[in-house]
Structure 1
Amino acid sequence: MRILITGVTGFIGGHLAERLNGAGWAVRGLARAPEHAAALAAQDIEIVQGSLLDRGSLASCMYACDAVIHAGAWTGTPGVPEDEAWTTNVAATGWLLEAARQARISRFVYLSSVAAYGVNRAPVIDETARTPLVGQLYPDSKIAAETLVRGAGEQGLATTIVRPASTYGPRGGAWTIGPIEQIKAGSLVLLGKDEGLVNTGYIENFVNGVLLALSSPAAVGETFNICDGVTTTYRDFYMRYAAMLGKASLPTVPAFLARGAATSPGRWLRRLMGKQPPGPWSVHFRFNPSRFSIDKASRLLGYTPSISLDEGMRRTEAWLRDAGYLAAGESG
């Protein structure tokens, strides 16, 4: 069986490629810059050059494939024009779906995001929750792409949507290397008590969930939250990284200032704080009161996260140390 993975040079895409390769799949990874996939190529994973912005390359790279995991996306990187970001997340998903239909692909798994739930503040959010547009580029693009995936499913393509949460672990960017580098630079601040909830997803747990979604007949036509199914506070999550760096505390900004600084009229507060505060969408998540339920994935797929937060952080710290992000004298 041959599978195409987009976003193979990314955190999640790379881990998926390695796991599927180890499980006996012939893995083909789409990479805009193949040199960034040298470690995967060294494991006999086929790397083809192409871009989500190039419709022709998306069709050609699907030749002789049986399945697709669409993990490639614009995830909020600053400096990318809005039309390019929208094309990457939405139009390219449509192009992939059409190419998959023409290539008679047997399974198509789309990696979306819990950001699709928008500003829902319910204590527990499952897959039946509405996903209204919120006027923010990233979540709205994920909602639009999900609509395309469901439409392709209604036309006969065997599709599944997976919504990850805060996925962290070895090689992770936004939820691993990012916080470490921000803490080193003194730019990561706690917002008040920072008791908003992080829905963690250790990378090994997440990959297990995606593989179940790929292989289970019960997953066809369905949407799943895939994370650890438990929460911790942002304060606890970030302080775990601070402890790895030998820090007992982090700078704190009053919550009301953070909320104000995230608005357009709050520009003066940004200067007062002396740091670039989180934007409106980030602030929303920092005060998130919700847990994303994995009951559906457990019931239909048999998904059971096996790596706890403590163990996941232990493994993550070991990798950070080996990779040189933690100095020899720094210790948790």
Structure 2
Amino acid sequence: MVAYQGRRVLVTGGTGLIGSRLAERLALEGKAQVRALVHTWSKAAWVSRADVQLVQGDIRDPAAMAEALQGCDVVFHCAAARGGWPLCRATNVEGTRTVLEAAAKSGTARVVHLSCAAVHGPLFAEGADETAPLMRSGIPYIDTKIESEELVRHFSASHGLPATIVRPAPVWGPCSPGFTVMPVRQMQLGRWSLVDGGHGICNAVYIDHLVDALLLAGEREEALGETFLVADDYGITWGEFFEHYRRMVNTGPLPSVRSESPVARALRRPIRAIDWLLGPGPRMPEYEPAPLLVRGARSGLMRLRARLTRHAPFSDWDLDLYSKQGRLNIAKARTLLDYKPRLSLDEAMRATEAWLHDQHLL
């Protein structure tokens, strides 16, 4: 972390899972002068514990971005939105464009762009690496991440912007809502199931391992112009992964659902039809100008989808994620970044369990 000592660093998405931990470690371990861009003050409590300058602003605002970037050497672009198409496109695509334009105009800022391994789709072939094709899925968050990557490559080629893209596997550990807090809570309620007995390959990354990779991507010359997949690479199954949570919760054996169950198959078509209607374009407008009748229809479709997915608790994407992926190849990150997961699975799980106890979630 000596490389960051005294340097000015901007972290967008400073209140999120990844951005807040990155900002915290840059300040505490790297002794950097850290500036975190905060969109909503009420979410800034966690990151404000560290010696971090909090700057309120919106990545879609060119003036706010220019001011936040002033004097910075490195920008870690972690801000992103999940939700409908208009929100994801405005934040993940146009917001990224604003960040890149501000960085290019500064003439000094290096950019590390946080993407996700999901841009390759839910079905990884065994040994898939960064050259695997990008797969549009119809999911707003993922498809707009693909578009944002295209912008990074464009600015790198046309403006000479020094940039690196990092694609993490699903992130787990302290503060992770989707791959730690939610599964633990569902197990406590008796609602969590394995898919196909938990035999699928687990591609995931512990939060501090991802932060390690981001820090390396922001300092190494070999990283410029490159894209990196990042995972723990423990070589375990999802059953082995979730068994740690099951023991924390002290519940009985987890039930299993089949990835090709009759119920899941029967419900796929109506769920996909609803997703199409709620998707991008003029089919079902999302914003306030939409007629009252249309907004009511949107609301009704969303409620219907929620009911259907209760009977098929995993989406098509989840079923593939938990049952049909091969093991990701992170050799490029190991070679060019010298990335290596520093905690064993047991060590990372113990740290996660301690955090869950601290937060009164266990």
Same fold, judged at TM 0.5 (above): yes
The structural deviation recorded for 1:271 is 6.7
Residue 187 of structure 1 aligns with which residue?
Answer: 191
Q: 1:261 to 1:163 in 2, by over 3 A?
A: farther
Indicate the structure (1 or 2) with the bigger Cα radius of gyration.
2
Residue 136 of structure 1 aligns with which residue?
Answer: 139
Runs of 4+ that moved beyond 4 A? 266-276
SS of structure 2 residue aligned to 1:135: coil
Residue 146 of structure 1 aligns with which residue?
Answer: 149
Q: 1:132 to 1:42 in 2, by over 3 A?
A: closer
Q: Does 1:7 align with 2:10?
A: no
Superposed CA deviations along residues 175-203 of structure 1, whole A, max 9, x for unmatched, are 11121122223332222313222212122
Letter paired with 2:228: F
The structural deviation recorded for 1:211 is 0.8
Residue 317 of structure 1 aligns with which residue?
Answer: 353
Q: 1:132 to 1:4 in 2, by over 3 A?
A: same
The answer on whether the counterparts of 1:270 and 1:277 sit within 8 Å (CA) in structure 2 is no
Q: Does 1:205 align with 2:212?
A: no
The answer on whether the counterparts of 2:164 and 2:226 sit within 8 Å (CA) in structure 1 is yes
Residue 295 of structure 2 aligns with which residue?
Answer: none
SS of structure 1 residue aligned to 2:204: strand
Inter-partner Cα distance in structure 1 for 2:128 and 2:315: 23
Inter-partner Cα distance in structure 2 for 1:276 and 1:261: 9
SS of structure 1 residue aligned to 2:340: coil
Inter-partner Cα distance in structure 2 for 1:195 and 1:119: 16
- Greater strand content: 1
Inter-partner Cα distance in structure 2 for 1:231 and 1:40: 32
Q: Does 1:222 align with 2:230?
A: no
Task: Give the aligned length.
Answer: 322
Which deviates the most, 188-197 or 311-320? 188-197
Inter-partner Cα distance in structure 2 for 1:272 and 1:149: 38
Residue 175 of structure 1 aligns with which residue?
Answer: 179
Q: Identity of aligned pairs, percent?
A: 38
Inter-partner Cα distance in structure 2 for 1:60 and 1:15: 23
Q: Does 1:34 align with 2:41?
A: yes
Q: 1:246 to 1:119 in 2, by over 3 A?
A: closer
The structural deviation recorded for 1:91 is 1.3
The structural deviation recorded for 1:152 is 1.0
The structural deviation recorded for 1:229 is 2.0
Superposed CA deviations along residues 166-225 of structure 1, whole A, max 9, x for unmatched, are 221122221111211222233322223132222121222221111111000000000011
Which deviates the most, 188-197 or 7-16? 188-197
Which deviates the most, 167-176 or 281-290? 281-290
Inter-partner Cα distance in structure 1 for 2:232 and 2:196: 25
TM score, norm. by length of structure 2: 0.82
Superposed CA deviations along residues 244-288 of structure 1, whole A, max 9, x for unmatched, are 111122233233226426613479999799545122222221223
